[in-house]
Structure 1
Amino acid sequence: MVRTYEEAVSWIHGRLRLGMKPGLKRMEWMMEKLGHPERRVRAVHIGGTNGKGSTVAYLRSILQAAGYSVGTFTSPYVEQFNERISINGEPISDQEIVELVRVIQPLADELEQTEFGGPTEFEVITAMMLYYFGKQNIQDIVLIEVGLGGRLDSTNIIYPLVSVITNVSYDHMNILGDTLDQIAAEKAGIIKSGIPLVTAVNEPEAWDVIAKTAAERKAKTYRLGVDFTVSDRQATVEGEQFSLVTPFAEYRDLRIQMPGAHQVENAAVAVMAAELLRLGYSFLIDPEHIADGLATAAWPGRFERVSDSPLIILDGAHNEAGIRSLVETVRAHYPDKRVHVLFAALTDKPLERMIQLLDELAHTITFTTFDFPRAAAAEQLADLSSHPQKAVTGDWIGWIGEKKKQMGSDELMLITGSLYFISEVRKRLKK
C-alpha cells in the first residue's frame, strides 16, 4: 500500500508499461467493484482532435462565473500531475491523490488476475477521477475530456448531460485510422442516445459520420456555422472579439484572451454547451456569466505569452491542424515579427506536414528533443525541414538563454510541438 504522494504517482506512472489497451471492459469491472460512482457524476463529455482543453477552460469559467462548483478531468498536465483532476481550476491535493490510489490499487491488482488484464495508466486515473467526483467530492458539474478517440476511451463509461466534439482532423492515426471518416467514427462513439451534441466539425467526410451517428441515436445536434454562428471576429491586443448567435440568444462583442480563430470556435462551442445546460437542466446562466467567463478563461501552454521582452510564446500544437491554426494566429497577431521557432515532437505525429508549415512561417527554425519515451530525435526532425536557416540543438535550455540575449523588439521566439515538451519548457521558464 502506498504511503506517500511520490509513491502514489510512481505507481500510477508505472502503469505506462501496459501501453494503451482500448476497450471498456476493465472500466466496467472497476466501476462495478466501486459501486458505480460514474452514475452519480453530472458531466459534460468533451471529445475531438484539437481544442478539448480550451473548450473545457471556457465552459468551466462560464459555469464558475454563474456560481457553480466545477470539476474537470483533463490531460496531459502542464505543471503538476494533480491538475488532471481539479475543482474550479485548482488541482486536488497530494493527500487526496494518495487516498485515491489506495482505493484503486487493490482493484488494479485484482483485475490483473482476470481475463481482462491489468488497467492502463489512463484507466487508473479515470477510475480515480470518477470515484472522487462520484463518491468523495460531488460537484455541481464535471467537465470530462476524452483521452484518445472516444468510442473505446475509458471516459466513455459515463452518460453525460451534453456531449461535445470540437473537431475532427488527423492525429493518432496508428490507433484511430488513417482516414477522416474512420477517425470521426471513433470520435462519434461518445454520442449517447437522446443526449444533445455540440460540435464544430466542418470537414464533409467527418461530418457525414457524426450526423449519421447522431441521427441513429436520436441525439439533437448543434453544429457551428449552421445552428449557431460567429460573426464580426477581429483580433485585439488582448486576444479576440466576436459576436455569436445561437438558436436561443444573441451575444455581441464577446472577448477572449486566447488568440486565434480556432479559439473563437472553441469559445462558441462552450457557449452553446452552456446554453444547453441552462435550457435542458435548469443551470442558472445569464448573459453576463457568459461574457465574464469567456473574458477570464485561460489555458496554460496554448498560445501563452510567457515573456514580453523578449517576446516568447509557448503553444502545444502537436498535430497538423494545431500547427496550421498556430501559424494563422501568429500571422494575424504578429505580422511584422521575425519568428524564431524551437520545435520538439513525438514520433507518432505527421511530422513532415507539421514541419513544412513551420518552415513557411519561421525566420529560423531549430529542432531539439526532450526526455520522453516517444520523443523524436532532433536530427530526425531536421531531416524533414527544407528551411535555409535550420539548426539542431541537444541543449534547448541553453539555446533559449542565448536566443533571449540576441533578440530585438521586432523578433518573436515561438516554442511549439508536443505538450509534454511545452510542459518541460514552461516549468523551466517559470523558474
Structure 2
Amino acid sequence: MIETYEEAIAWVQGRLKLGIKPGLERMQWLMEKWNHPEDNIKTIHIAGTNGKGSTVCYLRNILQQAKYEVGTFTSPYLEQFNERISINGVPIQDHELVLLVNAIKPLAEELEETDLGSPTEFEVITAMAIYYFAAIHPVDIVLFEVGLGGRLDSTNVISPLMSIITNIGHDHMNILGNSLAEIAYEKAGIIKHKVPVITAVEQQEALHVIEQKASEQRSSLYRANQEFTVVHKQSTGNGEMFSLISPLINEENMQISMKGHHQVYNASLAVIAVTLLNQLDDFHIDQHAIQTGLINSRWSGRFEQLSKHPLIIIDGAHNPEGIKSLVETIQTHLKDKNIRIVFSALGDKSLHEMIPQLDDVADSILFTTFDFPRAIPAKALFDISHHEHKTYIEDWRAGIQQIVKELQETDALVITGSLYFIAEVRKYLLEQ
C-alpha cells in the first residue's frame, strides 16, 4: 500500500527503467480488468510531431469559456508531475495521485507475471488518467495528447469524438521511421472508423498517408488550406492575427496571444475541432467562447517570456521543425534585438539539422548540458556548431547566470532545446 505522494511518484518513475515498449496489448489488458473505463469518457485525441500541447491548450481554454469542465492528459510536465492529469488546467491533487497509484499498482504487478510483461511508466500514467476521468472525477470532455507516434501509443485505446494530427516532422525516427511517410503512418494510426480527422499536415508525402488512412476508415477529413483556409494576417506585440475560412466557420480577425506563425495553425485546428463538436455531440460553443479562449491561451515553455528587463525567453524547440518555427518567431518578434542563445539537447535528436539553424539567427550561442540520461555533453554540441561566437559550459546554471549579468537592453536571451532542459531552467529562473 502506497501511503505518501513521494512514494507514489517514486513507484511511477521507477518504471522509467522499463523504457518504451510500443504496443497496445498491456493497455488493453488493464482496461479489460477495469471493465473498459475508456468507453465511458468523451475524448478528443491529438497527435503530431509539434504543436500538440499548444493545440490542447487552445481547445481547453475555448471549452472552458463555453462553461465545460475539461480534462487533459499531456506530457511531459514543466513544474509538477501532477500536471499530466489536469482539470481546467489545474493539476490533480497529491492525494488523488496516491489513490490512482494504489488502484493501478496491484494490476501492474499482476500484469508483470503474464507473458505481456510489466507496463511501462507511460502506460501506467495513461491508465491512471483514464481511470481518473471515468471513475473518480468525470468531466464533460477529456483531451488526450499522444505520447509517441499514435498507432501503438498507449493513449490509442480510447474511442474519441474526433482525432487531430497537428503536423509531421523528423523526430523519434529510431522508433517511428526514417521517412515522413513512415512517421505519418504511425501518427495516422489514431484515425478510427467514421471518426472525423482534422490536420495541418502540409507535406504531400505525409498527407497522402493520412488521406489514405481516413479513406480506409471512412472518416471525414478536414485539411488545412483545403477544407479550411488559414491566412496569417499580421504579427503584433501581443501575438498573431489570422483569418479562418471554411463551410463550418468564417472569421476574418481572429487573435491569439501565443507568438509565432505556427501557432496560427495550432489555433485553427482547435477552432475547427470545436465547430465540429457543435455538430457531433451535445455541445454548444459560441463565437465569444472561441475568441476569448484563443486570446486567453498561453502554454508554458513555448516562446514564453520569463522576464522583460532583461528580456529572457524560453522555448522547448527539440527537433528540426521546432527549431525552424522558433527561428521564424525570433525573426518576426525579436528582429531589433541582439540574439543570445543557450541550447541543450538530447543525443537522439537531429542535431546536425538543428544547430545550423540556430547558428544562422544567433549573435552568440552557448551550448550546455543537464542532468538527464540522454542529455548530450556541451562540448559535443559545440563541435557541431560553426558559429563565430560560440562557447560551451557543462554547468548550465553558471552559464545562464553569467549571460544574465551581461545582458543589455538591446539583447534578448533565448534559452531553448529539450523540454526536460527547459523545465529545469524555467523553475530555476522563476525562483531567482
Fold equivalence (TM over 0.5): yes
Shorter-chain TM-score: which interval?
over 0.9
CA displacement at 1:246 relative to structure 2: 2.2
Contact 2:232-2:264 within 8 A present in 1 as well: no
CA deviations 1:273-293 (Å, max 9, x no partner) are 111111111311001111000
Query: Which residue in 2 is equivalent to 1:131?
Result: 131
Find the aligned partners of 2:320 and 2:98 in 1 and give their Cα distance.
38
CA deviations 1:302-326 (Å, max 9, x no partner) are 0000000110000000000000000
Aligned: 1:387 with 2:370: no
Contact 1:241-1:254 within 8 A present in 2 as well: yes
Give SS of 2:342's match.
strand
CA displacement at 1:266 relative to structure 2: 0.1
Query: Which residue in 2 is equivalent to 1:258?
Result: 258
Aligned: 1:209 with 2:246: no
Contact 1:46-1:164 within 8 A present in 2 as well: yes
Contact 1:5-1:98 within 8 A present in 2 as well: yes
Contact 1:194-1:219 within 8 A present in 2 as well: yes
1:153 alignment partner AA: D
Contact 1:251-1:287 within 8 A present in 2 as well: no
Query: Which residue in 2 is equivalent to 1:373?
Result: 373
Find the aligned partners of 2:365 and 2:204 in 1 and give their Cα distance.
34
Query: Which residue in 2 is equivalent to 1:320?
Result: 320
Contact 2:163-2:197 within 8 A present in 1 as well: yes
Question: For structure 1, which runs of at least 5 residues remain unmatched after alignment?
Answer: none
Contact 2:232-2:261 within 8 A present in 1 as well: no
CA displacement at 1:253 relative to structure 2: 1.4
CA displacement at 1:394 relative to structure 2: 1.6
Question: For structure 2, which runs of at least 5 residues remain unmatched after alignment?
Answer: none
CA deviations 1:8-58 (Å, max 9, x no partner) are 001000001110000000000000111111001100000000000000000
Return 232-241 or 340-349, whichever deviates more: 232-241
CA displacement at 1:134 relative to structure 2: 1.0
Query: Which residue in 1 is equivalent to 2:228?
Result: 228
CA deviations 1:326-381 (Å, max 9, x no partner) are 00000011111111110000011001110010000111111000011110110111
Return 45-54 or 228-237, whichever deviates more: 228-237
CA displacement at 1:65 relative to structure 2: 0.3
Query: Which residue in 1 is equivalent to 2:350?
Result: 350
Query: Which residue in 2 is equivalent to 1:27?
Result: 27
CA displacement at 1:417 relative to structure 2: 0.2
1:219 alignment partner AA: S
2:85 alignment partner AA: I
Trace 1:146-295 onto structure 2 (pairs within 5 A). Answer: 146-295=146-295
CA displacement at 1:80 relative to structure 2: 0.4
Find the aligned partners of 2:246 and 2:57 in 1 and give their Cα distance.
20
CA deviations 1:128-152 (Å, max 9, x no partner) are 0000001111110000000000000
Contact 1:365-1:390 within 8 A present in 2 as well: yes
Find the aligned partners of 1:4 and 1:256 in 2 and give their Cα distance.
41
Number of paired residues?
431
CA displacement at 1:301 relative to structure 2: 0.1
> How many percent of aligned residue pairs carry the same amino acid?
56
Find the aligned partners of 2:323 and 2:343 in 1 and give their Cα distance.
11
Aligned: 1:109 with 2:109: yes
1:271 alignment partner AA: V
Return 60-69 or 229-238, whichever deviates more: 229-238
Aligned: 1:298 with 2:298: yes
Give SS of 2:408's match.
coil
1:214–1:266 Cα change, 3 Å: same
Query: Which residue in 1 is equivalent to 2:406?
Result: 406
TM-score (normalizing by structure 2): 0.99
Find the aligned partners of 1:204 and 1:220 in 2 and give their Cα distance.
18
CA displacement at 1:271 relative to structure 2: 0.2
Query: Which residue in 2 is equivalent to 1:6?
Result: 6
Contact 2:343-2:417 within 8 A present in 1 as well: yes
Find the aligned partners of 1:365 and 1:37 in 2 and give their Cα distance.
49
Contact 2:301-2:422 within 8 A present in 1 as well: yes
CA displacement at 1:252 relative to structure 2: 2.5
Tell me how large the CA RMSD over aligned residues is.
0.7
2:389 alignment partner AA: Q
1:216 alignment partner AA: E
Contact 2:147-2:155 within 8 A present in 1 as well: yes
1:352–1:232 Cα change, 3 Å: closer
Find the aligned partners of 1:240 and 1:40 in 2 and give their Cα distance.
38
Return 155-164 or 242-251, whichever deviates more: 242-251
CA displacement at 1:104 relative to structure 2: 0.2
CA displacement at 1:232 relative to structure 2: 4.8
CA displacement at 1:243 relative to structure 2: 1.5
Find the aligned partners of 2:413 and 2:274 in 1 and give their Cα distance.
36
Find the aligned partners of 1:324 and 1:231 in 2 and give their Cα distance.
19
Find the aligned partners of 2:119 and 2:140 in 1 and give their Cα distance.
29
Return 3-12 or 400-409, whichever deviates more: 400-409
1:115–1:232 Cα change, 3 Å: closer
Find the aligned partners of 2:365 and 2:404 in 1 and give their Cα distance.
15
Query: Which residue in 2 is equivalent to 1:79?
Result: 79
Give SS of 1:383's match.
helix
Contact 2:23-2:153 within 8 A present in 1 as well: yes
Find the aligned partners of 2:310 and 2:43 in 1 and give their Cα distance.
42
